[in-house]
A and B are shown apart, each in its own frame.
Chain A
Amino acid sequence: MTFELPDFSLAAAELWLLTLGCALLMLAVFVSAQRHTLLYGLSQFTLAGALGWVWWSAPESRSLTFNHHYVADDLATLLKSAVLLLTAVSLIYTRSYLERRPHLPRAEFYVLILFAVLGMFIMISAHSLLTLYLGLELLALCLYALVALNREHPPALEAAMKFFVLGALASGLLLYGMSIVYGLTGTLELHTLAAHLSDPASLPDPGSLTHLAWGFALTFLLVGLAFKLGAVPFHAWVPDVYEGAMTPVTLFIGSVSKLAALALVLRLLIEGLGALAVDWQGMLMILAVLSLTLGNLAAIAQHNLKRMLAYSTIAHIGFVTLALFAATPAGYHAALFYILVYALTAAGAFGVLLALSGEHEAQTLDDLQGLNHHHPWLAFLMLVLMASMAGLPPLLGFYAKLIVLQALLDQGHLALALYAVIFSVIGAFYYLRVIKRMYFDTPTHAATPRPARDLTLALSLNGLLLIALGLLPGLLLALTHAVF
């Protein structure tokens, strides 16, 4: 039994988050919740510090620590930075919302967000089935609690309940899949797993019993992954949670947590089980096609914007799944790029809703009606965001769709690419409806108060980034390209 001290410095950001998260938790016990600025400032400080640690501890080359349970590589650095930046932006969007609602537990909100970020970090840096699951559950538990945070709002509680029951089921299935994988290979580490599978002799013959066992393992793993991503038919929680949770939480789930979900897929399916692509491709295809279909069709009827964005998320996840389905480095790259773009755009869209939330929580199309009269700049930003989601060039969303389609066509999946395009066209319809309501309908509500200055600034940056990166997509593409 050997005992070696792990290299803690690689996980400096995680330790920092853990320490400051606990400190904030203790602080919250002793400090009145009225001192919002302190809690907010400390949370932002924690995130900024974590970003510093992420960059400081980023190794030259891929490094493992904690007995190979933890990996630090370019993918981790990229995704962690994105998670931190988007979380920080989300908190800026959320600050005035919480300030207006003194009955909401603020300290808990910040603590849960920080621990959720920690969970994502663990997922992103996971290098074994165990760490993956650990991070996943840490994230999931925080999210359940966050959804239920607004205790006086029954839909929130109902959503949290559904989220929890379904989430627990999915986690169980995922764990079951992992246990079968462990049984088949005798290892938990991803690179040992990959090495085991890279040996052609150990690849299961089609039709053999081992193949059946692998089939079951992949089935259960994919069910778990599909749930986390929110792919049809394991998507049922998405609309209810998006609608039921308060907008800051929806923002967090809808944008930041998608990065972690993709990290989970990339680590488990690609890094660990990439050699079995032939076996999981078919399942991914079904998930993708169903998600594209249902997400886009159902979004048409939604009057509640949060719910509409929920279905649109499902549709976007369909796109991401298609990119993964290609099972080529170009496809993985496309998936990563797509999810980053999506997270950025979704953050902005929910940010606009938060900017419009005075006492009343803005969430239906009516709340946006005639926005151009009251807040022309916000309306313009929302226009950019929606157009980017629809995939209209020259906004960033266009390139995301473009490289996914290219990755598919490179592999000769013509029909799937066409299918994706057809449903993008259908999808464009409901994004355009939002624009139409903002620009061409007369407002039915009185103007909401001007959003806070920091919120407007962050939101403007968010929206303009979509244009700027749309004009110079090479910047972001270079970043994501370096990973694969």
Chain B
Amino acid sequence: MSLVLIVMLPFIGAVLPALMIRTGRNACTIATASVTILAFALLMTHVPAVLRGEVVQVGWDWLPGLGLNANFFLDGLGLLFASLILGIGLLIIIYARFYLAKEDPMGTFFTYLLLFQGAMVGIVLSDNILMLLIFWELTSLSSFLLIGYWKHLPEGRQGARMALAVTGGGGLAMIAGALLLGQIVGSYDLSVILQHKELIQASPLYVPALLLILIGAFAKSAQFPLHFWLPHAMAAPTPVSAYLHSATMVKAGIFLLARLWPVLAGTEIWFYLVTTTGLITMVVAAYIALFKDDLKALLAYSTVSHLGLVTMLLGFGTPLAAVAAVFHIINHATFKAALFMSAGIVDHEVGSRDIKHLGGLVMLMPITATLATIAAASMAGIPLLNGFLSKEMMLEEAAHTVWAGQAWLIPLLATAGAMLSVAYSLRYITQVFFGPVREHYPSTPHDPPMGMWLPPAFLVGLVMLIGLFPQTFAGPLVAASAGAVIGGPLPDYYLSIWHGLTPALFMSAVALGLGIVILWRYTQVRAAWQKGPHPQAKALFDRTLTGAVAVSSALTYRLHNGSLQRYLAWFIGACVVIGYVTFWLSSHEAGNRAMLPAAPVAIVGWLLLIGGCAALMALHRDRLLALITVGVIGLIVSIGFVYLSAPDLALTQISVEVVTVVLLLLALNFLPKHTPAESMSVRKVRDGVLAVVAGLGVGAIAFAAMTRDFVTLSDFYLEQSLPGGGGTNVVNVILVDFRGFDTFGEIIVLGIAALAIFALLDGALRGEVGRKLDAWVSTEQRSMNRHPMMLVVATRVMLPLALLVGAYIFLRGHNVPGGGFIAGLVVAIALIMQYMASGFGWTAKRMRVDYHGMVGAGILIAAATGIGSWIAGHPFLTSAFEYFTWPLVGKFELASAIAFDTGVFLTVVGAVMLTLANLSRIGRRAQHQQINEQPMDVNPLENTKN
């Protein structure tokens, strides 16, 4: 259980600093430190067991369905890292207490720090690789908060974002890698995965899994070419740099490599990928570090370089190299954290981190100088310090490692790396603390308070102790953790200062000598360096970003320029492509139904239809002509209905055509007569091609359907029309009876449409449109005689006749062509003619019908008919009919459907007239006319007087 507590303590404790900050900075620090101390103490209780080689495990199922279990385990490797994290964490907390200025919100800082600490401990103690990843990304997030802590520094922002982009992105890649590993093994538990080396390395998924995991690990550990984020993250407060970038976060990648070493290492691809990356990183970063003037940048690149060293060792894949790697992890953590803290002290007390402004500090701040010198000497690999021991082991391993048949390559480069390491380490000492004392420092240098130098002093103490007595102070830990990494018997090795005259010693001596030479001739070396190229990874990163944004912008502009036409083209184009692909992937032959002979009439109709459509295309800019062509097409369609023996449809079609054309004419009156040509020819071609292709597709489907026999529903209606609906006109019976519900819905839609037109026009007339219309001057030439007498007289005579025809069509509808809908249209046309011939005012005075009410009444009547059948105990709209014999007329059928049809009739008339009335209101407004009282412009009586 205590394992879980070790992980959870920092998380739970993270609220403490936020709460305690009110009681003072010291209380806050003590609270934070006590959390860490408690966790550390708990960890220590497990030390004896782990050093004996036992593995402490605890866990329970969390999400078994996902393979995500809350399992923790502690072995040597976990112990090593957990102690580093918690131990150095404690030192950092003390250090930060004195480092942070009064105005810095310390509570927030410690909260973030504890969150980060918890996440790190979580990584190293997780037994489940998915849970490990969760903690992994948590470190990215919390480190983001820590790096960005100093909000007022612009580099801080850039650094934080880059750090998160690189490590967070790498983490996502690793998730995929971990999933693959789990897929291979069948479990996400590390303790299970680690047992299946052969299975994993034999799997075809091994290479992708390895690549993904390496991307994540290299990103986190700042390995080449993903190393560029680390130096930029240095804008963070120094305690953060010291903690994250020396001891913990950057080591998470290394930790993972070590953790999975037993199952992933040993293959050729592992060797070449990991060793090469580590080697390049080691040399390149050391080279860059040599010329950095910013103390923290120098340390940052040196960190990258040392991480490269460890990576390379792990890449070798031999047990001895693994031991060396583990040992170097310990050593690097101690001296690098001490160095960062000393750099922080210099920055804090002198006010600058720039080497060019420093120098001669040894007399001014002797304690700091001593500590920094010892730590840097350890980094340089000077004997008697711990850095020397692990470097020696590294060189020993490098000396006999062959890279692609080249035995000299790795030893040479390793020596070069060591040489550069010596040079920059010594430069750190000589150019900061030695040399002439400057006259002006940004602020007066002096040694810091004890709380600030004590933590690095403690670490430096460790550096020396391990350097002098490696077996005593580091031996057990190295043995335990190396054992965990190797996962088998430990190789034969012994930690001591003197190994005899080995190649490693020779290489080490060469490195030391050459390093001193470089420093001695630093001015010349630097001049040479200045001539060389300086690839800026950050610039590259920025350029990549700018490029990505540019590509993205271009893409967006191409696809989403806001043009609906383009969207439609994409849409239809995609449909056409998918449709044609589907077509070609299947067999497709025409049907074998016998073709009907083409009658001459049909051919003429077909040609007319095509001609009409073509004319519409050609004339569509001239709106009136276009309207006429549309009318022609409609007429041909009606003739088609007649030809196919559907007189009802033909009648309806003709009436609808007439009403539509009239209403459209009224509306077009207020619009320009011509549509301007706006489309470019490219677009026309594109749309034309799409139209042709889509049309061909639809035509092919129609052809395929019509060349096959099919069963039709018509027979049912034909048979049932008379017995079921009491009418012989099947179309009408379908409309008002079989599918009366449809019709009911349709008349409601019609009514709503009329109301919507009313609402739109009414609303528009009150607003800006109304003002525009008032100011509108028509350019059209108009006839003086607005209401020709011929027309007036004719319509007067026609009206009763038309109404009679309407009534006739309505009544006979159930058995022969006709019905409420057509009758409604006929009556509406007759009434429209009155308006057109005699003028609106005159007609409106005599037609005092509320069209709103008419629409409503129609729908209500239809609904009442439907509900009536409920009363009779039938479903909605069940029809009933009876036959009566009237005098004069004879046998007449009275069906409930007639009432329904009346509703339809009223709605149609009301809707059409409502639309018309509103359109004509616009007309009057535009022509600035008074409502005319007379049916004709010229009073005939006045004419006779003259």
Residues of A within 8 A of B (CB): 3, 158, 161-162, 165-166, 169-170, 173, 206-209, 211-212, 215-216, 218-220, 222-223, 227, 233-234, 236-237, 239-240, 283, 294, 297-302, 372, 387, 390-394, 398-399, 401-403, 405-406, 409-410, 414, 417-418, 421-422, 424-425, 428-429, 432-433, 435-436, 439-441, 473-474, 477, 481
Contact B151 A409 (CB under 8 A): no
Chain B residues near A215 (CB-CB < 8 A): 582-583, 585-586
Q: Is B43 positioned at the interface, with any CB of A under 8 Å from its CB?
A: no
Min CB distance A378 to B, Å, is: 16
Chain A residues near B138 (CB-CB < 8 A): 393-394
Contact B570 A392 (CB under 8 A): no
Q: List 6 A-B pairs, Cβ < 8 Å.
A: A216-B579, A372-B151, A392-B137, A398-B137, A410-B183, A428-B165
Cα(A283)–Cα(B106), bound, Å: 55
Cα(A327)–Cα(B810), bound, Å: 57
Contact B160 A402 (CB under 8 A): no
Cα(A429)–Cα(B63), bound, Å: 29
Contact B172 A421 (CB under 8 A): yes
Q: Is B642 positioned at the interface, with any CB of A under 8 Å from its CB?
A: no
Chain B residues near A222 (CB-CB < 8 A): 578
Partner of B587, one of A209, A409, A421, A436: A209
Identity of the chain A residue whose Cβ is nearest the Cβ of B153 in the assembled complex: A440
Cα(A406)–Cα(B559), bound, Å: 33
Identity of the chain A residue whose Cβ is nearest the Cβ of B873 in the assembled complex: A3
Contact A418 B553 (CB under 8 A): no
Partner of B571, one of A236, A424, A432, A435: A236
Q: Which of B174-182, B277-285, B354-362, B657-665 has 4 or more CB atoms under 8 Å from chain A? A: B174-182
Min CB distance B734 to A, Å, is: 16
8 A Cβ contacts from B131-186 to A: 133-134, 136-138, 140-141, 144, 148, 151, 156-158, 160-161, 164-165, 168-169, 171-173, 175-176, 179-180, 183
Contact B586 A406 (CB under 8 A): no
Min CB distance B783 to A, Å, is: 38
Partner of B568, one of A169, A300, A424, A425: A169
Chain A residues near B574 (CB-CB < 8 A): 223, 233-234
Cα(A166)–Cα(B574), bound, Å: 13
Contact A240 B560 (CB under 8 A): yes
Q: Is B62 positioned at the interface, with any CB of A under 8 Å from its CB?
A: yes
Partner of B176, one of A216, A405, A440: A405
Chain A residues near B578 (CB-CB < 8 A): 219, 222-223, 283
Q: Is B551 positioned at the interface, with any CB of A under 8 Å from its CB?
A: yes
Contact A432 B168 (CB under 8 A): yes
Contact B160 A414 (CB under 8 A): no
Chain B residues near A422 (CB-CB < 8 A): 173
Could you say which interface size class chain B belongs to?
A: 35 or more
Contact A219 B151 (CB under 8 A): no
Contact B141 A387 (CB under 8 A): yes
Residues of B within 8 A of A (CB): 62-63, 65-67, 130, 133-134, 136-138, 140-141, 144, 148, 151, 156-158, 160-161, 164-165, 168-169, 171-173, 175-176, 179-180, 183, 205, 208, 212, 548-553, 555-556, 559-560, 562, 564, 566-568, 570-572, 574-575, 578-579, 582-583, 585-589, 701, 874-875
Identity of the chain A residue whose Cβ is nearest the Cβ of B710 in the assembled complex: A183
Min CB distance B920 to A, Å, is: 26
Chain A residues near B587 (CB-CB < 8 A): 207-209, 211-212
Cα(A424)–Cα(B550), bound, Å: 20
Chain B residues near A239 (CB-CB < 8 A): 560
Give the A-B contact count at a CB cut-off of 8 A.
185
Contact A403 B66 (CB under 8 A): yes
Identity of the chain A residue whose Cβ is nearest the Cβ of B160 in the assembled complex: A440
Cα(A223)–Cα(B574), bound, Å: 9
Contact B552 A298 (CB under 8 A): yes
Cα(A207)–Cα(B584), bound, Å: 10
Contact B169 A428 (CB under 8 A): yes
Contact A300 B585 (CB under 8 A): no
Contact B570 A233 (CB under 8 A): yes
Once A208-B587, A212-B582, A215-B585 are accepted as A-B contacts, the answer to whether A440 and B156 lie under 8 Å apart by CB is yes
Min CB distance B571 to A, Å, is: 6
Contact B555 A294 (CB under 8 A): yes
Identity of the chain B residue whose Cβ is nearest the Cβ of A392 in the assembled complex: B137
Identity of the chain B residue whose Cβ is nearest the Cβ of A208 in the assembled complex: B587
Taking A393-B137, A399-B63, A441-B157 as known contacts, 5 extra A-B pairs with beta carbons closer than 8 A to each other, sorted by chain A number, are A219-B578, A297-B555, A392-B168, A428-B168, A440-B161
Identity of the chain B residue whose Cβ is nearest the Cβ of A5 in the assembled complex: B875
Contact A477 B168 (CB under 8 A): no
Cα(A215)–Cα(B559), bound, Å: 28
Contact B564 A477 (CB under 8 A): no
Chain B residues near A477 (CB-CB < 8 A): 63, 65-66
Contact A236 B559 (CB under 8 A): yes
Contact A211 B586 (CB under 8 A): yes
Cα(A428)–Cα(B567), bound, Å: 28
Chain B residues near A391 (CB-CB < 8 A): 172
Min CB distance A462 to B, Å, is: 19
Contact B208 A414 (CB under 8 A): yes
Chain A residues near B171 (CB-CB < 8 A): 392
Partner of A421, one of B63, B165, B176, B586: B176
Min CB distance A383 to B, Å, is: 8
Cα(A85)–Cα(B687), bound, Å: 45
Chain A residues near B205 (CB-CB < 8 A): 414
Min CB distance A96 to B, Å, is: 28
Contact B555 A402 (CB under 8 A): no
Min CB distance B10 to A, Å, is: 15
Contact B208 A209 (CB under 8 A): no
Min CB distance B513 to A, Å, is: 46
Chain B residues near A401 (CB-CB < 8 A): 175
Chain A residues near B875 (CB-CB < 8 A): 3
Identity of the chain A residue whose Cβ is nearest the Cβ of B209 in the assembled complex: A414
Give the most central of B176, B564, B570: most A CB within 10 Å.
Answer: B176
Contact A439 B151 (CB under 8 A): yes
Chain A residues near B567 (CB-CB < 8 A): 162, 166, 236-237
Chain A residues near B65 (CB-CB < 8 A): 477, 481
